[in-house]
Chains A and B, each alone.
Chain A
């Protein structure tokens, strides 16, 4: 009897404790295994110049935002103005055009404005697999040494940019 009560008491206390801790966690946050590692190797043609290749080498030497997007992706449109604003603030952004049509991608950047310094054209989605992309848009921050520092899934918004992205970029640029 005493044993049974003690067990139920302990189980109950553990549950409550677990939930208490759980309330402080964010279940929607999915960490990328890439964070803290060098950018994965990939090689895809440039969107504007099919002769030129875009690879992980293009992400080095400056703090860079890698943004995965597509013209068919509606939430990419929602974050587009933020990307343009970041560009105006001098942030270097490289685009990864994911499973798209070249003409449609051109049209998208012509009408919406082009925030990207370089855009890789990943028609097959193979580079996307290297980067662990499972939905557009996704945004990575890569430091000067080419190491992935941060990943955001879903469209960027003011809060994420103000509280996470910009402080991180400033810090990485200083070091």
Chain B
């Protein structure tokens, strides 16, 4: 019964989304107040319906209702309760339902917090969100219904993919989707602004906190995914340039460009068209990501099992949405003025360069991701594009970007002198260059690339330090009085610097070793002695495992003991899973995972030494924190003097 209620609720949600997508937009066009006001109610009602559907599917998982095909395919009676709840988003249909739930949730959030927005603006934003919802709900209902029944019902489910049975998996997809879906709000604001012709500083200010929160979610989602892959997949990698990782990374890059471009639009009224274009591109890239992951055009460890009908649907959705948006842009954008002028050396220029570099980076990733597909489509054979391409094109783009981060915040808006900037940062440059050159000397061999990476990262850190020193002398009261937006920027930049240090050190000095070890044998990796003590069989709730013991010592003193496991899950999937064991530290991680068993109790054991890898995740956390700080700035919550202020900078005035 419950699944049918869920099904019905989904159908109602689609109807409500249609109302939300049509009535308020029509109302805004004809200045019909009641029609515009309906947007809020429709958003709430739609969310309620989707939430009911989501609750029904969750109940089916909790009750082990294997008569629902999706439950039978992704759960199992042996699965612990918390994984049964998270298994809801373990497959294509359920993850789509989660996506729609979040989209409706963002709609409710906009409806709740948009009270000080002009009515027509709120109506248009919610209307566009409603239309996006129509697209995703139809996609789900017509091609990927999670409530399809199975008859006769199997006694036992197929089980959740063991790789997804991990705490990292509980948070990774929801956060990622929060980010993806959150950029729909930025997109809705952009389209609403184009429709109303009110592309101004007020619009940028309304849009900013939403965009920043979406960016924070995406940052956390990508960071968690990387962290999860690192300890769960057993190969010790944290980023693989897999097409699906790229699908999340591209909107992150353009989204990062967008939050910077929005800053310019809000502060100086410039870059308006460009900001709108970035919002459209970012949203387009999230749709593109959905297409790449769910249509089967590319192979990836992440890709869902697919059927071509779905691919056709999302492609059509992508083509219509982005096609219409670009058409609207082509029609409206030429009427938007250029905004404040700025000199060649100014904060605006710095941010423009930032935008250019980020967009080129996104384009480069897009090219690498779809190049194999293009070659195949042209009949030029099957190829794959891997880390060597991405690493070699990405570093040259990121290093100048990092340098921009160091100097950008020091440059004045509108006009500044390069000499003045140099005077403000020369101390940081010299100190960072010296430290960057010396730091790698403590490691195996000095490498210019690592040194360069460390130099720019340290430059950012020192530049921030000097700036705060100058402003506050690090007095607690002075620090506390800084604006959250300003502080947030520095925290996020600091996060990126930590991340860069982590990347440079890991890339430069990690040691990976696959060795054959018999019980009692020792291998030395990066100064640590790893002694294998054999494996013992163990039983988990729904799996059997061989649990290895690896003692680690340095210079004779024991450091830690690692317990890597090789698990075989009891369900029909039956594939062995590697569970790596890590000793985490600030300056290094030690990592052991079991490969294949050999004769006489010997195993192939994979041992890694990963210097500074925890700095990667710390950097991600700081970036997200910085974003949250920035979004919490009070000025986003104070009522805008409404239409007067907005009207003053409206369409046509330059």
Contact = CB atoms under 8 A, between A and B. Distances in A.
Contacts, number: 61
Contacts of B311: 19, 23
A27 interface: yes
A19 B326 CA distance: 18
B621 to A, nearest CB: 34
Given A18-B377, A28-B299, A23 B330 contact: no
A172 to B, nearest CB: 25
Interface string A5-45: 10011001001101111111101111100000000000000
B600 interface: no
Nearest to A22: B297
Nearest to A17: B377
A3 to B, nearest CB: 12
Nearest to B311: A23
A159 interface: no
B330 A5 contact: yes
A18 B373 contact: yes
Chain B interface, DSSP helix/strand/loop, else mixed: helix
A31 B377 contact: no
Contacts of B295: 19, 23
Contacts of A27: 296-299, 372-373, 376
Contacts of A23: 295-297, 308, 311-312, 315
Interface string B375-411: 0110001100000000000000000000000000000
B532 interface: no
Nearest to B295: A23
Interface residues of A, number: 20
Contacts of A103: none
Contacts of B372: 27
Which of the listed residues A5, A23, A30 has the most CB atoms from chain B within 10 Å of its own CB? A23
A20 B297 CA distance: 9
Given A23-B311, A27-B297, A16 B318 contact: yes
Given A5-B330, A25-B297, A18 B370 contact: yes
Contacts of A18: 370, 373-374, 377
A1 B334 contact: yes
B351 interface: no
Nearest to B292: A19
Contact of B291 (A5, A19, A21): A19
B330 A16 contact: no
Interface of A: 1, 5, 8-9, 12, 15-16, 18-25, 27-31
Interface of B: 277, 288, 291, 295-299, 308, 311-312, 315, 318-319, 322-323, 326, 329-330, 333-334, 370, 372-374, 376-377, 381-382
Given A5-B330, A27-B372, 16 more contacts: A5-B326, A8-B277, A9-B326, A9-B330, A12-B323, A16-B319, A18-B374, A18-B377, A19-B295, A23-B297, A24-B308, A25-B297, A27-B298, A27-B299, A30-B382, A31-B381
14 contacts: A1-B333, A9-B326, A12-B323, A16-B318, A18-B377, A19-B291, A22-B297, A22-B376, A23-B297, A23-B315, A25-B377, A29-B382, A30-B382, A31-B382
Name the 9 nearest CB pairs between A and B, nearest first: A22-B297, A21-B377, A27-B299, A23-B311, A22-B373, A16-B319, A5-B330, A25-B376, A19-B315
